Amino acid sequence: MPVFDTFDDDLDDLAERCADPDSGIRRVAMMALAEAVGPEARVLLLKGLADDDATVRAAAAKALDEHDGPDVVEGLINALEDAEAEVRRIAADTLAEKKEPACGPLLIARAAHADPFVQAAALRALRELVLPDALAAALKALRSPVPEVRREGLGVVGYLKAEAALPALMATAGDPDASVRRATMAALVFLRPGGPGVATLIAGLQDENWQVREEAAVSAGKIRLPEAVEALIARMDDPVWQVRTKAANALGRIKAPDAVAVLGRALGSEISNLRKEAAAALGEIADPRALPALEADYDDPDPDVRKLVRWAIGRCLGT
């Protein structure tokens, strides 16, 4: 019989079970507290973060995902230094879901911690807070010898969209770690057509790592970067279909008439996702020159592609 069926999940009962000598019972109590509300439940979970059993601490860190408040964030920040790797990982994952701007100073301070794991987790939690005060810590992180720290620092920079970070981003675009280069391409999404840094993003479309090329294509599309059209057309012959798909999407966002021919050829791909993006892009471009390729794919076997092909035909006909 499941342990949950052996007791009522009221706070008084749970409080007793949080102090039970059996760590298994304490762990299940932590799990049940995720469904409880109010400060009493939160206090019990925060005490659980200091339990002498790692499985209980891990359960408490996970259950705190359902609770908010500065004390929760502070408790999770302290749990980043737990002796057990699994507790630290869960605390980092839970902390990343919190969006408590008032806790920004605590996180910024931890971003300078001696432990790279704590640094990276703090930066990850700072990302969506979009605090200008976090920029200095993020830029410092870009000089870390640890790729994970550099990558999480780039996440903060990307959300802040700070032009002051551009020189640092142009440097990390050549980072030896592919995941850092990929994060750089994502962070460059604040660029303006014709502005500085455009060449760096276009160069990312030729990176040796396909995920970097893919991310560069995504950013070029979000910016609607006309300077990237030639490089994106070249990526329509990329050996990796995911890159071709993102390139097609970007060409549609940019509404690049020069891409009509290559997008038309992509309608003959065996990969339905690529055909879908190609059809959508041709509809965005709305150039009548695309009609022969679209009409040839009128009865595409994929219903989503058929729908987009017919929409694109209407667009090209101006109807």
Count the alpha carbons within 13 Å of 184 in the hemisphere toward its beta carbon.
Answer: 32
Contact present, 165 and 139 (Cβ < 8 Å): yes
Q: How confident is the model at residue 86 (pLDDT cuts 50, 70, 90)?
A: very high
SS3 226: helix
User: Does the pLDDT at position 284 exceed 60?
Assistant: yes
The DSSP call for residue 255 is T
Percent of the chain with pLDDT over 90: 87
Measured in degrees and rounded to the nearest 5, phi and psi for residue 146 equal: -100, 120
What is the chain's mean pLDDT, rounded?
Answer: 94
CA distance 182 to 193: 20
Give the DSSP letter string of 29-56.
HHHHHTT--SHHHHHHHHHHTT-SSHHH
User: Does the pLDDT at position 2 exceed 90?
Assistant: no
How much is the average pLDDT of 287-307?
97
Give the model confidence (pLDDT) of 179-198 as tens digits: 999 999 999 999 999 888 99
Domains belonging to the chain, first-starting first, are 1-98 (1.25.10.10), 101-165 (1.25.10.10)
Torsion of CA 225, 228, 230, 234, to 10 degrees: -120
Mutual angle of helices 147-160 and 178-187, in 10-degree steps:
10
User: Does the pLDDT at position 309 exceed 90?
Assistant: yes
Residue 245's nearest CA partner among 283, 273, 225 is 273
CA distance 18 to 29: 6
Secondary structure of 4-29 in HEC code, one letter for each residue: HHHCCCCHHHHHHHHCCCCHHHHHHH
Contact present, 204 and 185 (Cβ < 8 Å): yes
Q: How confident is the model at residue 245 (pLDDT cuts 50, 70, 90)?
A: very high
User: Does the pLDDT at position 5 exceed 50?
Assistant: no
Torsion of CA 238, 212, 248, 284, to 10 degrees: -160
Which pLDDT score, from 0 to 100, does residue 182 have?
Answer: 98
pTM above 0.75? yes
Give the model confidence (pLDDT) of 99-156 as tens digits: 888 889 999 999 999 999 999 999 999 999 999 999 999 999 999 999 999 999 999 9
CA distance 133 to 122: 14
Residue 45's nearest CA partner among 8, 11, 2 is 11
How much is the average pLDDT of 276-284?
98
Identify each DSSP E strand in 179-236 by its residue range. none
Which pLDDT score, from 0 to 100, does residue 129 have?
Answer: 94
